[in-house]
Amino acid sequence: MSLHLLKLGLKGTDDEPRFFPQPGELKSRYDVVIIGGGGHGLACAYYLARDHGIRNVAVLEQGYLGGGNTGRNTTIVRSNYLTPEGVRFYDASLRLFQDLSEDLDINLFYSTRGHYTLAHSDDAMRTMRWRAEVNRHQGVESWMVDRDQVAEAVPGLDPDCGGSRPVMGALYHAPGAVARHDAVAWGYGRAAAARGVELHQKTRVTGIQQYGGRVRGVTTDRGTIECDSVISMVAGSTPTITDMVGLPTPIEIFPLQACVTEPVKPFLNTIVVSGSLHLYLSQSSRGELVMGSAVDPFVLHSTRSTFDFVEGLADNIVDLMPFTARLRVVRQWAGMSDLTPDFAPIMGTTPLSGFYLDAGWGTWGFKATPISGKTMAETVATGRNHELIEPFRYTRFRDFELVGEKGAASVGH
Amino acid sequence: MRLQWGIDAMRIIDCPLIGPRPVAEFNYGGAVGEPPIVDPTPDQLAAQVFYRAGAPGLLREWWYHRPTGRWFVLERDTATDRVHRIVTPEEVAHAIPML
């Protein structure tokens, strides 16, 4: 036992430096209150402080930092979307991700792997070609590959998929990557706290005060706060928050489940997705296969995980990669996805002055963490939507100007 | 009406006429909508087409039982996933507005 450890054992760890400072009591007033201490909320706090000098900011989190969907996704970062608006937005995010470890001085294990979206039908091939064209037009490296190239790049893959749904080809997306999702939240949180932002965990927002058509403050289970701006960045809890201000949204909550297998030797250095098989997988740096599926079939506000999910996923992955039949699943979990009708987020200003929304992240939120933080910070600082998020504005449903990302945002539709 | 609950994978829904059946035999049909509005304004139309009651709580939803080809309306708590009751068709029926 080292002397230092002995000393800590006797004296306690109170004087040791902490990753996040302990914020103490809530102040009576902040310039900006961010509801939700996940990746998006912490990123927004960081960019507010760093780029706009707005440091009197509180991040209120009902649980612990990064404990919601930030810690429950399958960590994939990509920009091979279907609409030009979507591709531009997610590409800007991916570029921020590439330098983020250095920015935040934390190892995000950001690993560019390449990303194959398999097509098992003529319809899927058509959508993949469409995405490849839109991507390249926006300067994003995506192109079609044939079935032999897929078989060569993905060891253990059965291109006939058990005979029922043979792979016809794939959309290859060169910049596709994985990252350590917890570290993204921790890195943003630490960097924001170092610039004066207060991070309050175990602090639940119970109401939002408005007066004269604008936001005046929030009530929490730890007291009342005055503020000029409130940003809701709460993913699966969005309808609860928007109900507090009487703002209708098209958001419905569906659980999204994922699981990991026991670790095995590194063999898979790409990300593989199949919409038809409702499946995506990558191998983590620890050797586990990280796998996810489509959202559960009905609305539910819960993070329970089910046997039905693992059974359905196993059925498909064993067709695609027969050797996985020998692997054991060691963990499974669920997050609450806030789905929108067009599979694009809802971001920016709302009809209530001072209330900003960053929601509708469904199954596509993690990859957008840096850019949503950055664009939302600018939107709050200037009071008008950043140009990258204008297509995702709250009023697009009323305007009948949807951003149809169904073919690229998710699997199993 | 009686409802039975086992472990999650074996959930049973007990509907009139067909008796207790596993939830896996059902397809989800989404929330029961409001009757269409005659001559809606664009705002009313957008609200009807897109906006939903998304917060946790009691929700009336359509469920389709595939083997028998029957539709049911269930009142379910979307926070606890408990079915409170089966809603009869008369309760959700509405006149078709003359457009």
- Between residues 20 and 39 of chain B, which touch chain A (CB distance below 8 Å)? 24, 27-28, 31
B31/A400 Cβ within 8 A: no
How high is the pLDDT of residue B4?
A: 43
Residue predicted with more confidence, A87 or B84: A87
How high is the pLDDT of residue A309?
A: 93
Cβ-defined contacts of B77-81 (< 8 Å, 24+): B78/A253, B78/A299, B78/A300, B78/A301, B79/A301, B79/A302, B80/A302, B81/A300, B81/A302, B81/A304
| Residue indicated by tokens 């059965």 | A158
How high is the pLDDT of residue B5?
A: 43
B52/A251 Cβ within 8 A: yes
User: How far apart are the CA of B93 and the nearest CA of chain A, in angstroms?
Assistant: 23
Considering only CB atoms, A239 lies closest to which of B8, B24, B55, namely: B55
Whether B1 contacts chain A with CB within 8 A: no
Q: Which CATH superfamily is domain A25-72+182-251+342-409 in?
A: FAD/NAD(P)-binding domain (3.50.50.60)
Compare all CA atoms of chain A with the CA of B52 and give the residue at the minimum distance: A250
Q: How many CB atoms lie within 10 A of CB B35?
A: 12
Whether A239 contacts chain B with CB within 8 A: yes
Interface mutation target, options A299, A315, A339, chain B, most CBs of B under 10 Å: A299
How high is the pLDDT of residue A237?
A: 97
Residue predicted with more confidence, B9 or A35: A35
Give the side-chain half-sphere CA count within 13 A for A222: 14
Whether B81 contacts chain A with CB within 8 A: yes
Closest alpha carbon to A395 in B48, B52, B43, B33 = B43
Average model confidence (pLDDT) across chain B: 85
Q: How far is CA A156 from CA A152, A166, A318, in A?
A: 9, 15, 11
Domains located in chain B, CATH noted: 28-92 (3.30.2270.10)
A253/B54 Cβ within 8 A: yes
Query: Tell me: the pLDDT tens digits for A154-206?
Result: 999 999 999 989 999 999 999 999 999 999 999 999 999 999 999 999 999 99
Whether A238 contacts chain B with CB within 8 A: yes
Q: What percent of chain B has pLDDT over 90?
A: 55
Both tokens of A30, joined, read 């902040």
Question: pLDDT at residue B1 above 70?
Answer: no
**CB A217 within 8 Å of CB A343:** no
Query: Tell me: the pLDDT tens digits for A267-302?
Result: 999 999 999 999 999 999 999 999 999 999 999 999
What is A112-176+252-339's CATH number, 3.40.50.1000, 3.40.50.880, 3.30.9.10, 3.40.50.300?
A: 3.30.9.10
Question: pLDDT at residue B7 above 50?
Answer: no
Q: Where are the domains of chain A?
A: 25-72+182-251+342-409, 112-176+252-339
How high is the pLDDT of residue B6?
A: 39
Segments of chain A with pLDDT less than 70: 1, 412-413
How high is the pLDDT of residue A13?
A: 85
